[in-house]
């Protein structure tokens, strides 16, 4: 099988596997235990915290280890429920379910949950400016959209919020879901002036079930109750082997980030050209558009064939692709709702196909994919 679903998850890297088994065997103590094996584990954990802090351009005090992106987002959003009075959270309609699914809970506690429309997959800073008001306590947006690969202009968006703060005199927490950014494009949460950001290891060849929450806001409180680990923000015995494996893999990934980016950009350009000439249309922005996008994700449209049918045809040809994000492809309507907010027409939404690449994608695989896309287009009568 040819794997083109790296946005959903990626295979664990060689480095991560080595470090995982090494640490799992060597550090058998619980970092919270006071005996020598516990202290040893604790000390390794803090070394790792410092290492990841430096990779993210921040300090150890802002790094919390979590189980992944969903938990990081949930810790931040659930903290709103601790506010003395409900207010408003502004986010985008193109967020992952780990953000959007908080709508019901927050609303049931009196919060206003505003999900802004993002035509083409981008949030216009002016739209955000117009939405800001005195009730807003938090603004949350993603860095890279997981369905289309669009990259939001976070610098301008953060500036809009900070400018508003100056006039209103009230602090607004800015959270960023950076799950699809880390390891793909340069991302430094502190430099971008985010108050919090969430990351997930398995998106960059780290193990599943490990993630990072960058947070500098003391008002953010734990979602779980437990033994006080991670300064009480994320109780539960630390997954030391997983954390070390994640960091080791991230170091490898970041060291070759730019070269890899260029290579993937060439692959994406080739896929885009093949798809357009075969009769597909683009849902993601074109390479030639001048818009910001992550080349790791390209979303094309196989009209008039429904995505579900197209995925079966491609699976039979040996390709793993996806329609929306893997988290929602089992539930009808979820992926579409993100595309709806992007103003994609209904017929295109129904035929949307996500092709995503990662560090293991090879030129040969891309070549095979291009041949298969062309063949499928003529077999199924795909036309723009």
Partner 1 sequence: MEHVNTKEMNLYLIRLGEISLKRLNRNFFEKKLKNNIKLKIHPYRSLLTREKGRFYLYVSKDCPEEIVIKTLKTTFGVVGFSKALVCEKDWPVIVENAKALIENEPFADDTGSFKVECRRGDKSFFMNSYQIEAELGGVVLDRYPDMKVKVKDPQKELRIEIRDKAYMYTSPVPGPGGLPVGTAGKGLLLLSGGIDSPVAGWRIAKRGLKQDCLYFHAYPYTSDMALQKVKDLARIIAPYNQGTNLIVVNFTECELWIKDHSKEDEHTLMMRACMMKVANMIAKARDCRVLVTGEALGQVASQTLESMCFTNSMSDIPVLRPLVAMDKEEIISTARQIGTFETSILPYDDCCVIFSPKHPLVRPEVDMEQKSFSDMNIDELLAKCVAEAQEFEISYHV
Phi, psi (deg, nearest 5) at residue 16: -60, -40
Options 62, 244, 327, 370, the catalytic residue = 327
C-beta of 89: minimal distance to partner 1 in Å? 32
C-beta of 331: minimal distance to partner 1 in Å? 9
Do 299 and 148 form a contact (C-beta atoms < 8 A)? yes
C-beta of 308: minimal distance to partner 1 in Å? 7
C-beta of 113: minimal distance to partner 1 in Å? 27
Nearer to partner 1, 50 or 347 (CB): 347
Nearer to partner 1, 131 or 380 (CB): 380
- Measured between its terminal Cα atoms, the distance across the chain in Å is 28
C-beta of 315: minimal distance to partner 1 in Å? 9
Beta strands 173-177; 136-142: pairing state: parallel
C-beta of 86: minimal distance to partner 1 in Å? 36
Nearer to partner 1, 6 or 310 (CB): 310
Nearer to partner 1, 215 or 307 (CB): 307
Nearer to partner 1, 219 or 309 (CB): 309
Nearer to partner 1, 134 or 316 (CB): 316
Phi, psi (deg, nearest 5) at residue 235: -65, 155
Using CB under 8 A as the criterion, which residues of the chain lie in contact with partner 1 when the complex forms? 304-306, 308-309, 312-313, 316, 332, 350
Nearer to partner 1, 2 or 261 (CB): 2
Two tokens, residue 321: 């692709």
Nearer to partner 1, 14 or 331 (CB): 331
C-beta of 344: minimal distance to partner 1 in Å? 17
Two tokens, residue 326: 């893997």
Which residue, among 121, 114, 169, has the nearest Cα to 147 in the 3D structure?
A: 121
C-beta of 312: minimal distance to partner 1 in Å? 4
- 287 is an active site residue: no
Using CA atoms, how far apart are residues 362 and 359, in angstroms rounded to an integer?
Answer: 8
Rg (CA), the chain: 21
- The three-state DSSP-derived secondary structure of the chain is CEECECCCCCCCCHHHHHHHHHHHHHCCCCCCCCCHHHHHHHHHHHHHHHHHHHHCCCCHHHEEEECCHHHHHHHHHHHHHHCCCCCEEEEECCCCHHHHCHHHHHHHCCCEEEEECCHHHCCCHHHHHHHCCCCEEEEEEECECCCCCEECCHHHHHHHHHHHHHHHCCCCEEEEECCCCCCCCCCCCCCCCCCEEEEEHHHHCCCCCCEEEEECCCCCCCCCCCCCCHHHCCCCCCCHHHHHHHHHHHHHHHHCHHHHHHHHHHHHHHHHHHHHHHCCEECCCCHHHCCCECCCEEEEECCCCCHHHHHHHHHHCCEECECCCCCCCCCCCHHHHHHHHCCCCHHHHHCEEEEECCCCCCHHHHHHHHHHHHHHHHHHCCCC
Q: Which residues are catalytic?
A: 327
């Amino acid at each position: 099988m040819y794997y083109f679903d790296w946005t959903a998850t990626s295979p664990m890297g060689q480095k991560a596997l080595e470090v995982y088994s090494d640490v799992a065997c060597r550090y058998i103590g619980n970092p919270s235990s006071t005996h020598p094996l516990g202290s040893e584990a604790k000390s390794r954990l803090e070394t790792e915290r410092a290492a990841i802090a430096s990779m993210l351009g921040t300090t150890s005090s802002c790094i919390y280890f979590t189980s992944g992106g969903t938990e990081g987002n949930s810790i931040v959003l659930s903290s709103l429920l601790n506010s003395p009075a409900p207010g408003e959270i502004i986010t985008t309609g193109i967020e992952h379910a780990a953000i959007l699914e908080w709508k019901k809970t927050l609303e049931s506690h009196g919060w206003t949950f505003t999900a802004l429309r993002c035509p083409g997959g981008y949030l216009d800073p002016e739209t955000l400016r117009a939405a800001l008001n005195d009730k807003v306590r938090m603004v949350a947006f993603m860095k890279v959209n997981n369905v289309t690969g669009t990259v939001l202009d976070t610098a301008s968006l953060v500036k809009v919020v900070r400018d508003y703060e100056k006039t209103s005199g009230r602090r607004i927490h800015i959270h960023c879901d950076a799950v699809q950014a880390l390891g793909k494009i340069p991302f430094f949460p502190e430099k971008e002036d985010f108050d919090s950001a969430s990351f997930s290891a398995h998106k960059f060849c780290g193990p599943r079930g490990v993630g990072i929450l960058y947070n500098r806001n003391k008002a953010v409180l734990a979602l779980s109750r437990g033994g006080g680990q991670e300064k009480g923000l994320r109780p539960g015995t630390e997954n030391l082997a997983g954390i070390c494996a994640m960091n080791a893999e991230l170091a490898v990934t970041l060291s070759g980030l730019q070269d890899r980016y260029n290579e993937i950009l060439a692959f994406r350009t080739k896929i885009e050209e093949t798809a357009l000439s075969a009769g597909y249309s683009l849902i993601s922005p074109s390479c030639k558009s001048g818009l910001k996008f992550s080349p790791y994700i390209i979303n094309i449209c196989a009209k008039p064939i429904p995505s579900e049918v197209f995925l079966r045809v491609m699976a039979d040809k040996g390709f793993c692709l996806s329609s929306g994000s893997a988290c929602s492809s089992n539930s009808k309507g979820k992926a579409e709702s993100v595309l709806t907010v992007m103003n994609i027409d209904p017929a295109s939404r129904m035929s949307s196909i996500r092709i995503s690449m990662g560090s293991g994608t090879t030129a040969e695989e891309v070549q095979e994919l291009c041949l298969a896309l062309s063949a499928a287009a003529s077999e199924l009568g795909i036309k723009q």
